[in-house]
Amino acid sequence: MSLKIAVLPGDGIGPEIVNESLKVLEVLNQTFGLDATWKEATIGGAGFEAEKDPYPASTQSLVKASDAVLLGAVGGPQWEALDKPLRPEAGLLRIREDLGLYANYRPTKVFDQLLDASTLKPEVVQGVDILVVRELVSGIYFGQPRGYEEFEGERSGFNTMRYRESEVRRIARKAFEAARLRDNKVCSVEKANVLEVSELWREVVTEVHQAEYSDVELSHMYVDNAAMQLIRNPKQFDVIVTGNLFGDILSDEASMLTGSIGMLPSASIGEEFAMYEPIHGSAPDIAGENKANPLATILSAAMMLRFSLNRADLAEKVELAVENTLDAGVRTVDLADGEAFVTCSEMGDAVCEALRKLS
């Protein structure tokens, strides 16, 4: 039976980077026996333009009938004046909530070939391999009440950060399970010295650890210290588990250990569905210029092969093809540091050629 993939290119550079991932999947179909088909649908600003909805009903139907979802990016300045429910980012929040994608896996691996691309010293970042497990469908991005109103004679905005015990338990389990496949260490990040919601987070993570995962090393860290430690000594971390807001910020910070946010893939996983996307945004300033780095999206497709399509063997080949391409000195502009660079499509072609050589 063919594996069915819902492809959502989205906005900005989304269509460009997704196209390079589809080239890789074509090579896997033709050369390595992957039996995958895909259909495209709109989301974000593209969804609004097509159907006046950033998460159209037709897209909802397609993703729920698929084995996995591959997403590009959403957003752009042309939609910023829309009402919040119509903005591209609302579509992204809705698909995560609709599919129950509560666990966001964001790996940060520093490739030896790109040590010089990082702004940190090579000895600080060499060997870094961190997995941020971010809770994705609760916390301050979804909490109620929220609003924008006049309060005591001036404009006021307010949001609610709320976590239920069950939400913390399930994301903690995902982190501990992931750690068992890595270096067996979890660092839980919150702000328990200030926030009651973080007190609950720490208590529940500790309970899950003691009851089910005492074989895994657990530590706790306040988010401000974690942000500093990611720069000071990133190799101390294996798996970081944290809430929606803190995970959003820390994973973007961690991305710069690699030298470019264009290198980081992600997987958003629930009980039934999963979606794969680069962690970067739509980069409207370079959209349509063939400058984007597609490697994060190609590596997201590798995560899709591993976690949703049960083809870890092919995921390893894609990841090796990316490493071999970097070994050959191929760089997009974000990685080139003033040296020669290739276009987005040329990088995709180079990975495809490296992949064919592994047959």
User: Cα separation of 331 and 347, whole Å?
Assistant: 7
DSSP secondary structure code for residue 204 in this structure? H
Query: For residues 322 and 312, what is the distance between their CA atoms, to the nearest angstrom?
Result: 15
State the alpha helices, DSSP H only, in 68-161: 88-99, 122-125
Bridge partners of residue 149, in order along the sequence: 156
Direct distance between the N- and C-terminal alpha carbons of the chain, in angstroms, rounded to an integer = 23
Instruction: Tell me phi and psi for residue 25, to 5 degrees.
Output: -65, -35
CB 282 within 8 A of CB 336: no
DSSP structure class, residue 331: -
CB 55 within 8 A of CB 21: no
Burial 322-353, CB ≥16 within 10 A → b, else e: bebbbeeebbbbbbeeeeebbbbeebbbbbbe
For the annotated catalytic residues, the residue numbers are: 141, 191, 224, 248, 252
The two three-digit tokens of residue 179, written as one number: 């750690």
CA-closest candidate to residue 278, choices 289, 291, 262: 262
Burial code (b: 16+ CB inside 10 Å, e: under 16) for 66-98 equals: bbbbbbbbbbbeebeeeeeebbbbbbbbbbbbb
